[in-house]
Amino acid sequence: MTCASCAVSLESWLKNKPGIQEVSVNYPNESVSVTFAPDKISPEDIHKAATEIGYGLVLGSEESREQQREEAGEKRLAQLKLKLWIAAVCTLPVFVLAMFLMRVFAWENIAMLLLSTPVMFYSGSEFFVNAWKQARHGKTNMDTLVALSTGVAYIYSTLNTVAPSVVASRGVEPHVYFESAVVIITLILLGRYLEERAKRRASGAIRALMGMQPKEVRVIRNGEEVVIPIGEVIAGDLILVRPGEKIPVDGKVKSGESYVDESMISGEPLPVQKNKGDKLYAGTINQKGSLKLLAQKVGSDTVLAQIIQAVQRAQASKPPIQKLVDRISAVFVPTVIVLAIIASAIWFFTTPDEPFTRAVVILITVLIIACPCALGLATPTALMVGIGRGAELGILIKDATVLELAYKLDTVVLDKTGTLTEGRPQVTAFQLAEGISEQELKTAVLSLEKLSEHPIASAIVAHLESGGVGAESIDRFESITGQGVQGVLGESAYRIGKWSWLESTGVLKEESLLRKAALHQQMAQTVVYIARDKQLTGWIAVADKLRDTSREAVQNLQNLGLEVQLLTGDNHETAAAIAREVGIEKFTAGVLPSDKGAVVQKLKNHNKV
């Protein structure tokens, strides 16, 4: 399809076929959604009907359809680029000769004819081919306008170039309008090339989501490990997921322990600890440990597949304004042709001086002015690109209608982790007890934390290594889930973790250290305590730092008259500290991800948009 009215004509053509109940053709998304009675018409019959007016459907499995569409899109982009270059190279001298060097050279009309011909018959060929396919079935689209206007201009100019005496004998000056024909073809080709490139980028968001699934997986069948394509995985398969690999399907942990990055689903950038029985989702990334996954949902049933379908549905959905545009586009081309003929006739019968030339010029002018038809093009392309770009940035728009309602917004609800904050923990303070060797303690901390898989350990390791600290080998290392780590370095036993755990192992209080730590905890920072044998030797404060742009972003939203609220799973103190820092007055803390929707619904019930 080459324009919005292509979608309208294909839609109206298919609607009249027996067995088809409902049709929705989406131009920017290059898709058609059809509800049909399979006993009366098949997908192959629908494809055959589409080819009658110059289109065709890509059939087959979802994967092969996507591949064919991708290949066709890349091929079309390359063709448009070549046609555009040829048109531009030929059009420039024609434009210069017609606009600035008119009647300077005796050969200029011949030169313009020779340069215009490849533009018309190669670069602009699709306009004439598509217009003819439509005309055979009594239909029109934007190509009809382009073909009529440029065709009339080219034929009239060619006649005045090769046989100027034909019109001159009627007392009419044999003018040529080659530049009008080639400039409009070049400009429309430029528009289509830019639009095609935008569509390729927009559909790249879908491809990026699809790329989150691995192509092949390791499954354990009959006690043996075999590698199979993702499409062959069935519910009940036992899948081996190694460190750094993507989770291929939805399921639960059968055995093993690891941290999994679930940010693409939850928005929470900190990896989540997974043990036996915990849920896993396709597209999320396994961190350091190996897992055995029991497949429960595969193919189109996975959460990732449903996200992809949601984005595709949104891109195919039509808001009220688009439906209005479609209705106008359906009558736009015939109306323009009728108006062009009427205008041409009026000038022909009312102009005493060169009426024929004047009538032809008016006909060409009206048709050319209407050619680009931003009306049918701008709305669907803007929606397609907007929704696609949103998906790239992690913003899923469930329906095009919500974009049209966005101007009514009065409340914006923000998550904390990864939205207001950077989403990755960083060391903010390192406090030592008096008389403790800084180098010795930092070496012990780095040596222990390097063996831990906890996300906070990664932040501590990165901080110490950037400061030039080196690690040594640890004896009797042990990681206590939810508490901390312990091990022996040299003659000393070290523990790093929660104060409650350290205290339960007999570590003695150090009041001044604990008081300083409490100040950091009040600022929504996590404090990890360090003990050597039974002595509290220091602590490390770790925080998910506020983004540099958060305060400004909240201020900008508030300046627009929007009420900004914070919604987080973190505790009340952390939420209060972050809200205070960015200038948000209302916040809700301690909310589970599954309950966040209910909080938003509650706001809606209080007439918030």
Per-residue pLDDT tens over the stretch 201-245:
656 666 666 666 777 888 888 888 888 887 788 888 888 888 888
Please report the DSSP string for 306-352 in residue order. Answer: HHHHHHHHHHH---HHHHHHHHHHHHHHHHHHHHHHHHHHHHHHH-S
Cα 562 to Cα 566: distance, rounded to the nearest angstrom: 13
Cβ distance 366 to 340 under 8 Å? Answer: yes
* CA–CA distance, 327 with 341 (Å, rounded to integer): 23
Q: Work out the end-to-end distance of the chain between its first and last CA atoms, rounded to an integer number of angstroms.
A: 37
Question: Could you give the CA distance from residue 10 to residue 29 in angstroms, rounded to a whole number?
Answer: 14
pLDDT value at residue 208:
66
* pLDDT tens, residue by residue, 240-288: 888 888 888 899 999 888 888 877 666 566 677 888 888 888 888 887 7
- Return the higher-pLDDT residue of 316 and 131: 131
Query: In this structure, are residues 263 and 544 in contact, taking their beta carbons and an 8 Å threshold?
Result: no
The tokens for 384 are 């397609």
Given the residues 143, 415, 544, 570, the one annotated as active site: 415
Query: What's the rounded mean pLDDT across residues 180-199?
Result: 79
Q: Which of the residue ranges 43-47, 146-150, 594-598 would you say has the lowest mean pLDDT?
A: 594-598
Residue 301 catalytic? Answer: no
User: pLDDT digit string (tens) for 309-320?
Assistant: 766 666 555 556
The answer to whether residue 331 scores a pLDDT higher than 80 is: no
- Write the pLDDT tens digit of every residue in 483-498: 788 888 888 888 888 8
Cα–Cα distance measured from residue 423 to residue 61, given in angstroms and rounded to the nearest whole number: 38
Yes or no: say if 485 and 460 are a contact pair by the CB < 8 Å rule: no
Please say if the pLDDT value at position 550 is more than 90: yes
Go through 390-425 and write b for each residue having 16 or more CB atoms within 10 A of its CB, e for each that does not.
bbeeeeebeebeebeeeeeeebebbbbbbbbbbbeb
The token pair at 146 is 């382009």
Query: Which pLDDT value is given to residue 297?
Result: 86
CA gap 10, 25 in Å, rounded: 7
Average pLDDT value for residue range 409-416 = 91
CA distance 400 to 323: 12
Asked if pLDDT for residue 61 goes beyond 70, the answer is: no
The whole-angstrom separation of Cα 256 and Cα 228 is 22
Between 168-177, 188-197, 368-377, 430-439, the lowest mean confidence (pLDDT) is in 368-377
Confidence of residue 562 (pLDDT cuts 50, 70, 90): very high
- Strand duo 421-432 + 291-297: pairing: unpaired
Structure-token pair, residue 489: 């370095």
Q: For residue 327, list its beta bridge partners.
A: none
CA distances from 5 to 322, 478, 518 (A): 12, 68, 67
E strand or H helix at 7: helix 4-15
**What was the pLDDT predicted at 375?**
47
User: Which candidate, 23, 20, 41, places its Cα nearest to that of 33?
Assistant: 23
353 vs 438: CA distance, rounded Å: 99
Helices (H), 34-141: 43-52, 62-100, 108-118, 125-135
- Token pair, residue 350, equals 């009312």
Whole-model pTM: value is 0.52
- Cα separation values, 376 from 187, 321, 365, 380, 453, Å: 17, 11, 20, 8, 55
Q: Give the residues across from 302 on adjacent strands.
A: none
CB of 259 within 8 A of CB of 232? no
Q: Note the pLDDT of residue 557.
A: 95
CA–CA separation, 379 and 171 (whole Å): 47
| Residue 180 CB-density burial (10 A; 0-12 exposed, 13-18 middle, 19+ buried) | buried
pLDDT above 70: percentage of residues in the chain: 85
Q: What mean pLDDT is predicted for residues 97-112?
A: 83
